[in-house]
Amino acid sequence: MIDDGAVPRVTPAGLLHRPRRLRQTAAMRRLVAEHRLHPAELVLPMFVREGATEPTQITSMPGVVQHTTDSLVAAAREAVAAGVGGLMLFGVPTHRDAIGSGATDPDGILNVALRAVRDAVGDDTVLMADLCLDEFTDHGHCGVLDAQGRVDNDATLGRYAEMALAQVGAGAHVVGLSGMMDGQVGWVRSALDEAGLTDAVVLAYAAKYASGFYGPFREAVESTLQGDRATYQQDPANATEALRELRLDLDEGADIVMVKPGLPYLDVLAAVAAESDVPVAAYQVSGEYAMIEAAAAHGWIDRERVMMEALTSLRRAGAQIILTYHAVEAARALSRPA
């Protein structure tokens, strides 16, 4: 007798493939995961302020501070202990001028900080230095200006070469060329090699976009920018241009290439990763960090879940190295027993 109330269990004809089989338990999902994050892939950007007597909270980046030299060293040791793969230092000077002289001064804040961190942690992590003039110029641009107030590409290259020598001399393993000047990689590589610093690594910001996501960073470095950087950073509408920039940087000797920002440019990141024969990095910039923190503070998202999902998306798109202000927290989360 047939029970009219029963729901017949019928296997649909031809339903041989059931992807859900591989999602049924946490252990199964871990086993078949295509991409994994590791603490060693994470780089922590850090700010150090000249003359600071105590760490100062950056209001638009909760949990991130402008460090004193002493607190920077302590935080660097903490990051190394957490397993973070690298540190990227940014300096905030008290004096700025037209050519950014503090960037090449051995006693300038960034070079002092590099020496202090390198003395403290040695080769236990990869120490990176932001190689750009914007934090050190009174006009806030990434290069020196000509008589018409425009960024002078070729004159800037000479300053970049001097910065590279100063930063590597102060202890940087890696110089991060973020200014988007034409020819910057080749110019810096030649200067380092001619000085016998052939082991210094050049990280090229191959695709750095003129983005609105940098807003909180401007607070972090106390930016004095007048105007915008649209004449040298990339147009957000362009993707093919990024591959041209990539090829030029590779031809000029880049050891690592980077896409910045991260999440809004996953398509560019994937395209760069498909073309590059050197490691690819992505920078989860201040605006990306601030959005996660702000939404979490309102209770709108699960903070740690979204943090890890965003970082995983960068890894999935092809980043082997990820610069993120969440680096220490993410490294600890990744190190917890499953």
Active-site residue identified among 260, 269, 285, 329: 260
Residue indicated by tokens 């607070």: 219
Whether the Cβ atoms of residue 131 and residue 175 lie closer than 8 Å to each other: yes
d(CA 125, CA 143): 29
Buried b / exposed e over 266-295, threshold 16 CB at 10 Å, is bebbbbbbeebebbbbbbbbbbbbbbbbee
- 98, 101, 103, 109 alpha-carbon torsion, rounded to 10°: -110
**How do beta strands 65-67 and 201-208 pair?**
unpaired
Active site residue 208: yes
Distance between start and end Cα atoms, the chain: 50
* CA 322 distance to own-chain centroid: 6
Active site residue 327: no
Active-site residue identified among 208, 229, 315, 326: 208
For the chain, the helix, strand and coil percentages under 3-state DSSP, each to the nearest 5: 45, 15, 40
Positions annotated as catalytic residues are 208, 260
